[in-house]
Amino acid sequence: MVDPKYLSKEEINRLIKNPLNEEEIIICRKNHLLTNAREHIIVGSPEPGSIYFKTQDGREILDCTSQAWVLNLGHNNPDISYAVSLQCEQVTHSWSYMLTPIRIRLCNKLAEILPGQLKGGRISVNNSGGGWALECAMRLAMINNKKGEQFIVFRRGYHGSNLIMMGASQRLPMRFPGRGRELWVRTFYPYCYHCPWHYKGGLGGERDKSCNLECLQMVREKIEMFPTGTPIGCIIEPIQGPGGMIPAPVEFLSGLKEICQNNKILLIYDEAQTGFGRTGKMFATEWYNSKYNVDISPDIMTLTKGAGAGVPIGITVAKSKLRQLTEFEEHSTFSSPPLGMAACLVNIEILQKNKIPENAEKQGNKISSFIKDLSEEIPEIGDVRGPGLFIGVEFVQDPETREPNNDLLEKMVHVGWDNGIFFGEQMQIMSTAGYFIQNTLKIKPPLIINDEETEKICELFEKSLKDSIKSLEK
């Protein structure tokens, strides 16, 4: 590491590394703009690359959220830290239109590993994440498809909280209605466990074998009834994350691709959460392609979160046939972020060399089957969905009615924390009857977990669930 020039190492340590004192914390609580800054303070991890984090009050918590599904290689991964400090010695920032060695290497690498028709495609990066990557995808769709005005989006989808993407997302509470609302037309997502056409066999993210894909017919009809002619694009998470960990059946995705192709609509996959190994393959698109032997790859795809293994980066990729974006159509001050790009390139190398996606598949299967077995004994476990370490456990009041059990989810997250494990929650959805639904627990630890850590997750899941049910019965 280089030696500092203007400050001493001690001065810099004092600002960054020295332990916090109580007074600093009290002052910050007053200064903080966000109300949801939680009571707990994360101060580090027991060791570099750990799946645990340490809190200010001295606890070590097993992280099943990877901090917003980002730290796929664990907290403070040492290879990523090394890559970033090395990159700091090369280029830390440049104009967005300048090429740098790291940008060239990352673009080439991504183009090489992209799935299906995206292989050999074009890449744009940013340092703001998924929302910006999607806006870039929308601009790209707009310049390539000049006749339409709107985008198709799906029920329970989430695509970011910047003012435009908020309209595409079904996040509540919606405090900012109206902005860009005219851009979106929303239709059904194939949520088979709660199929509105009452097919009951849609478990574990698979469709009921007798279903006639009425939800796909809805998409066709929506397009025919489009107020402004054909839509420009269709944005979908192939496996919904925030909305409840819901894989779309492959038949829906291949049908959707066909509808888009037939109607000249650009198909955009949001793989913010599913990219970079979480499903057991590098991308969810690849997972479907290889499991079902069909190519469901889209025209455009967006990525973020696990991409930089903890260093910010958002990525938009497009098949090479599309017209490229000019500087005026896509740029921001930081849209050539060397640190994020260095982290992403090294991340890809680690994932490939160490077969980390395969590990995610193996450990994820163990956790999912453990929970499925437990569901024989615990009727509140309604559905268990994968794939890989993209696990959702939907809690219900009764497995017959499948009525959501919000209380159990809330309790489980609190009890889990007390037991030393941090579980994630789906985002809140407003039901048509006007109440909130939030009943799917997320288990998405770093992808590097080993056998022992997997067993620990299973053990703590069972204990926390049983403790939660007992405490709700009181």
Ligand X SMILES: Cc1ncc(COP(=O)(O)O)c(C=O)c1O
- The nearer residue to ligand X, 151 or 405, going by C-beta atoms, is 151
- The nearer residue to ligand X, 241 or 387, going by C-beta atoms, is 241
Contacts of 399 (CB under 8 A, 6+ apart): 379, 382
- The residue assigned the tokens 């007798």 is 210
Smallest gap from Cβ 317 to ligand X, in A, equals: 15
Smallest gap from Cβ 59 to ligand X, in A, equals: 26
Smallest gap from Cβ 387 to ligand X, in A, equals: 16
Q: What is d(CA 463, CA 461) in angstroms, rounded to the nearest whole number? A: 6
3-class secondary structure, 268? strand
CB 239 within 8 A of CB 426: no
Beta strands per DSSP E along 336-444:
381-385, 391-395, 421-422, 424-425, 429-430, 436-437, 440-443
Smallest gap from Cβ 334 to ligand X, in A, equals: 13
- The nearer residue to ligand X, 156 or 319, going by C-beta atoms, is 156
- The residue assigned the tokens 């090429």 is 99
- The residue assigned the tokens 């889990």 is 416
- The nearer residue to ligand X, 186 or 402, going by C-beta atoms, is 186
Q: List contacts with ligand X (CB under 6 A).
A: 129-131, 158-160, 237, 241-242, 270, 272-273, 304
Distances (CA, A) of 104 to 125, 140, 270, 322: 12, 21, 24, 20
Smallest gap from Cβ 70 to ligand X, in A, equals: 9
3-class secondary structure, 58? coil
CA angle at residue 84 from 79 to 86, to 5 degrees? 95
Q: What distance separates the 2 farthest-apart alpha carbons in the chain?
A: 70
331: buried, middle or exposed (CB in 10 Å: 19+, 13-18, 0-12)?
A: middle
Distances (CA, A) of 244 to 39, 62, 70, 130, 328: 26, 22, 18, 18, 37
- The nearer residue to ligand X, 248 or 272, going by C-beta atoms, is 272
- The nearer residue to ligand X, 315 or 448, going by C-beta atoms, is 315
- The nearer residue to ligand X, 237 or 425, going by C-beta atoms, is 237
Smallest gap from Cβ 241 to ligand X, in A, equals: 5
- The nearer residue to ligand X, 189 or 411, going by C-beta atoms, is 189
Smallest gap from Cβ 459 to ligand X, in A, equals: 28
Smallest gap from Cβ 214 to ligand X, in A, equals: 25
